[in-house]
Amino acid sequence: ADIVTWPASCTIDAGCTLANGNQVKVVGWYDNEWGYSNRLVDLTVLVGSKL
């Protein structure tokens, strides 16, 4: 699936995630500019609500 413009900072790829005993390997995909932009909007809304 295409993750471009997905609002999450990171999307976990369950098909690539492995568990072996007490170790877990988690694979995540990210689009740093879009995710960062969404987190910046979240922060702006939070700060605006405190004014």
Q: What is the pLDDT of residues 2-43, one digit of tens each?
A: 666 778 888 899 999 999 999 999 999 877 788 888 899 999
Residue 2 domain-assigned (yes or no): no
Report residue 50 as tokens. Answer: 């405190």
Domain membership of residue 6 (yes or no) is: no
Q: What pLDDT was estimated at residue 3?
A: 63
| 18 domain residue, yes or no | yes
Is residue 4 one of the residues assigned to a domain? no
Q: Domain total for the chain?
A: 1
Residues 6+ apart with CB under 8 A from 31: 3, 4, 5, 6
Domain annotation covers residue 42? yes
Residue 3 lies in a domain: no
The reply to whether 38 falls in a domain is yes
Query: 27 is in which domain, residue-wise?
Result: 11-50
Q: Give CA–CA dist 1/36, Å, rounded.
A: 20
Indicate the DSSP class of residue 5: T
Query: Would 26 be classed as within a structural domain?
Result: yes
